[in-house]
A and B are shown apart, each in its own frame.
Chain A
Amino acid sequence: MNPKLAKLPPRGVAGNILASDTGAATHIASAPFGHALVRAAENNPRIVGLTADLGKYTDIHLFAEKFPERFFQMGMAEQSLIGCAAGMARAGLIPFATTYCVFATRRAYDFIAIGVALGRANVKIIAGLPGLTTGYGGTHQGIEDLALMCSVPNLTVIDPCDATEIEQAIQAIADYDGPVYMRLLRGQVPVVLDPEHYQFEIGKAKMLTEGGDVAIISTGLMTGRALDAAKALDAEGIRASVLHLSTLKPFDRETVEALIGRVPAVVTAENHMQHGGLASAVADLAVDSGLKIRLRRVGIPDCFCDSGSLPYLVDRYSMGATHIAQAAREALH
């Protein structure tokens, strides 16, 4: 057993393998990606959809039902999925291709790097089950996909926080001419960001709360937990900034640099390994700009994760709001 992991006794709770992690969310939206893609496609006949036998499981079935003639089921063949999407883009279409993070990035990596990214083919890869959002173990948990995708030149990499951001991001990436890898939260998805006040922009980090004691920089679903952590810290008199950085690449250096330059401690929170993703990008930036920062990373350590129910996994790998708050306290001491 990895000594870095919290030791927890088996709880005997049946693993709720396929449920979405809606946690304590009060607002939920159903299949935000599927609905957003349908809306974008209504205004743009070049948009087509593809999947590799995961239509029902990535919400693109809604698009397939609405536009059957614009939907292409590729079977369980991820290399063919990405290769065909690249070909469709070269033929002038805007393909949205769905599968899970692990199958897109591990099996079809070469097809993404060369077929899609090298020539900037206008392919949108939408990948489900990021990080610890599935109870299956190492085969299904996309824990290093951001590291892989951020390493590919020309690729835009997005890890949205919630239903609001997914809806906005789908329109934005449909309008953007270039290859995109976007993580997907599927099914019942929490609404964390208020659509009246939040506006997604590719490549822009957004300050959600301001505080001068500690900066929490978060991406993906961890932002919901970062906001909860900030509330808990506030009750203790610690004022935290929460900077939500959903575009990992291109990285919003300006905003991050300005923030980490003016707080005494920084916490990163990502639904991904602690290396190769958000924390590494922040650390790189600090070094490049000669900033000395105290950094604590919340993320998955260097291991394949267990299977089990989502609350069990969140505790086991210290990925909850309480862990983010604790990391902030530690960073301050």
Chain B
Amino acid sequence: MNAQSEAISSATQEIRLKETARALRRHVLEMAEIVGQGYVGQGLGISDLLAVLYFREMRYDPKNPSWQDRDRFILSTGHYAIGLYAALAEAGIIPLHEIGTYGTDGSRLEMAAPETTPGVEITGGSLGHGLPQSVGMAIGLRYQGRPSRIFNLLSDGECQEGATWEAAMAGAHYKLGNLYAFIDCNNQQADGPPAAIMNIEPLDKKWEAFGWHTQRIDGNDVAAILGALAAARKVEDRPHAIVLDTLMGKGVATFEQREKNHFIRVGAEEWSVARQQLEERAL
């Protein structure tokens, strides 16, 4: 966050971030069209959070992605890579034109993000790794006196993995105020909605009971995300859980309305409609 952005009125800032979120969604559609299928619903759903994190909250140097004092975004859900690549490209950490290689043989932009790609901190995708590693990073960076913060994105499905809760315990035990966990509740996992697969609710109460400073917000509302981050910054002795209720496919009407699906196939003719719907959506 720099002085200039502080000076901009919050209303202007919100509009800018919404525009950025739309730009990220454009990139997501562009990538998804290359492979004709995939995690477009997740990428669109999480674009608002990524816009706020990468273009307002996080400190990093696009020219030097391994700068020691950077804030770190930890993508636990490797398959959300499509959303992360959109943010990395928009932020200039990877070249914008490279998103045209998404999911193709030999590309660095694999469908599940590998840590060999600049800006990707860990290899996620075997779900349940994100929070334990985030706890370790938060401890390690704090121990070294670094100001960095850790922003971990995990999914509702990952709240079924034991490792997530083992790490949640550790995060509270070590009072990791530099650790933020965003739980993307898009109400979908591989076999269906969590309520039908293995109930995880009430999630906010669970995180609270595990000792985390917990908030639950509309994860597609930029103002709500900004507000939650501001509130979290005031709490220094506990890790922060921000439970995000999001809509899969957010911003593109046909994907929002589609029967929800973890992995969607999209016909070749649907993409131009999708792009148009994205542009027509009011900010």
Contact = CB atoms under 8 A, between A and B. Distances in A.
Interface stretch (B30-38, B215-223, B231-239, B250-258): B30-38
Contact of A10 (B105, B114, B124, B196): B105
A246 to B, nearest CB: 27
Contacts of A3: none
Interface in A136-152: 136-140
Contacts of B274: none
A75 B103 contact: no
Interface in B106-140: 106-107, 110-112, 114, 123-128
Interface in A63-119: 73-77, 79-80, 102-103, 106-107
A307 B110 CA distance: 7
| Chain A: number of interface residues, binned into ranges | 35 or more
Interface stretch (A49-57, A209-217, A264-272, A324-332): A49-57
B104 A136 contact: no
Contacts of B103: 14-15, 17
A227 to B, nearest CB: 27
A137 B191 contact: no
Contacts of A139: 78, 112, 123-126
A306 B200 CA distance: 34
B277 interface: no
B187 interface: no
Interface size class of B (residues with CB under 8 A): 35 or more
Contact of A77 (B35, B78, B162, B196): B162
B197 interface: yes
Nearest to B126: A139
Contacts of A11: 104-106
A15 B105 contact: yes
Interface in B165-191: 189-191
Interface stretch (B21-29, B58-66, B85-93, B153-161): B153-161
Contacts of B196: 73
B227 to A, nearest CB: 30
B112 A308 contact: no
Interface of B: 34-38, 78, 101, 103-107, 110-112, 114, 123-128, 157-158, 160-162, 189-191, 194, 196-198, 200, 263
15 contacts: A9-B106, A11-B106, A13-B104, A14-B103, A53-B190, A53-B198, A61-B191, A73-B198, A75-B157, A76-B127, A76-B157, A137-B114, A138-B114, A140-B126, A307-B110
